[in-house]
Amino acid sequence: MEEFAALLDALVYTTSRNRKLALIAAYLRGSPDPDRGWAMAALTGGLDFPAVKSSTIRNLMMERVDPVLWALSRDFVGDTAETASLLWPEPEDAAPQPALSLSEVVDRLAALTRATAPKELPGLLGRMDAKGRYALIKLATGGMRVGVSARLAKTAFAMAFEVPVEEVEEYWHALSPPYTELFQWAAEGGDPPDLAGVPRFRPFMLAHPLEDGVVDLKDYAAEWKWDGIRVQLVRAGGETRVYSRSGDDISATFPELLDVLAMDAVLDGELLVRGVTQGGEAGGAASFNALQQRLGRKTVSKAMLRDYPAFVRLYDVLLLDGTDWREQPWKSRRATLEGLMPRLPESHFDLSQLVEAPDFAALSAIRDTARDEAIEGLMLKHRDSPYVAGRRVGHWFKWKRDPLLIDCVMMYAQRGSGKRSSFYSDYTFGCWDGDPDVGAELLPVGKAYSGFTDAELKKLDKFVRQNTLNRFGPVREVKRELVFEVAFDSVHTSKRHKSGLAMRFPRIHRIRWDKPAHEADRIESLRALIKD
């Protein structure tokens, strides 16, 4: 556990990607099994200890330190684990105890229940120094936030043992922590994990943004970029699974897709839900807002299946009937996919259609007029590109439509986390519900924490501190004076918000220091942008 705590401490204090890779790789090479496997699971979000929540740690601290001191310290530090690890009372005259391994800590955390956690955790925390307590709390609550993504951790694994990261990705999602078979293959030179007949995830091919560029449509094909969630359908060994773009198994959320593939295949596409007419008939793709009704549900009711039926709009084929198509050019894979469509039920699959245009200028005009709420923009795919994991320059481009813009007024601010824990960097903003000159109120329409520079953040933080009206826990209400020009992809009706509206991907486009608040937009302007 001491080595893992030292790793987390070092990761927190470096912003260098190469340094983080080197630190993780060194830890993996120098640590025994299964400790290193549990460490990888922790860094990639593969551990879950439901008996321990942030509230568990907070309640333990409130029993041991002054509640006001805890609240002020947590507000200043911005991180529960760091605050608790520093404030935890050191035991007096405690006899030294042998250090625990990471595996022993994982076993003890896994054995906790909601009833036993408050009794057992103090004993564990009392055996460790501040670094160890920080690592223990991060491990238990699952919120690492040490600047390491799952992809970066897997890249470090591949670097540590000099194996291809693409192969690591392919094996990873079919195995469980502490990944014994993976380490035997990569670190010990053993055989690759035997995954024959297992429906496993393959890393997605991704696209680079097309920024002020022009491509030759003789070399590139265009198709719509649909606004759903990218998924991979895999059938092998008589079983079908649905994976998200991060490799998470979301099969239970979309059970209607699990018995519709009659052949072994790995298919790439966009998961959407169909709009349902008043007569109960399924139509075309509905908005992302409709899809959100299905996301993240552990159980899916019959009403959900009826009102928001899921289907997949297919983009590509990776494997089919025992043949691996990934090394073949896109045009061959496209022809194979078109030939596959008659074998698939129309109720659950359709094909993403190509967008035809005589030249790039005409394609640009088509893109500019596309405001279907289920379309994000265009994808441009080189006709000779293989299907390769990750982003490869020149193969695929994404060309998103220009965002919608509206002027809003800052209403509330909250501190960020991590590097931003000392700054008010999360902003809630609203539009006027009528004419502000005759007493109309502002109604919240969105929240954003991106789109500004570090210099602008400091200026915004100063504004919040100097213009605070009220405080509600960590949230500050501010004077209705500052206007944001907010960019967003679409807007939908929402029963959860007082305004009745919810923005999709809001971000701050410009800070309008020059614009009076009463000139900001009204709710009716935002509502007019909703697509039926």
Which residues, other chains included, contact 71 with Cβ-Cβ below 8 Å and sequence gap of 6+? none
Residues paired with residue 415 on neighbouring β-strands, in sequence order: 424
Structure tokens at 523: 């709710």
What residue ranges in 110-228 does DSSP mark as E strands? 205-206, 208-209, 220-226
Residues acting as catalytic residues: 225
**Alpha-carbon gap, residue 30 to 13, rounded angstroms:** 21
H/E stretch holding 141: helix 130-141
Number of H helices, E strands in the chain: 18, 22
Pull the structure tokens for residue 211: 């920024």
| Dist CA 100 CA 40 (whole Å) | 18
Among all chains, which residue has been given the structure tokens 């995830």? 201
Asked if residue 308 lies in contact with residue 294, where contact means CB atoms within 8 angstroms, the answer is yes
* 39, two tokens: 């460490």
Helix 80-87 / helix 130-141 crossing angle, nearest 10 deg: 140
What's the N-to-C CA distance of the chain in angstroms?
55
- DSSP assignment letter at 96: P
Burial of 76 (0-12, 13-18, 19+ CB in 10 A): exposed
Judging by beta carbons within 10 Å of its beta carbon (0-12, 13-18, 19+), is residue 394 exposed, middle or buried?
A: exposed
DSSP β-bridge partners for residue 406: 486
Instruction: Map residue 436 onto helix, strand or coil.
Output: helix
Q: What phi, psi does 463 have (nearest 5°)?
A: -60, -45
Report the 10 Å Cβ neighbour count for 237.
Answer: 11
Residue 84, sorted as left (phi over 0), alpha (psi -120 to 50) or beta, turns out to be alpha
Q: What tokens appear for 79 in the block? A: 């991180």
Phi, psi of 478 (to 5 degrees): -120, 165
Whether 504 contacts 485, CB under 8 Å: no
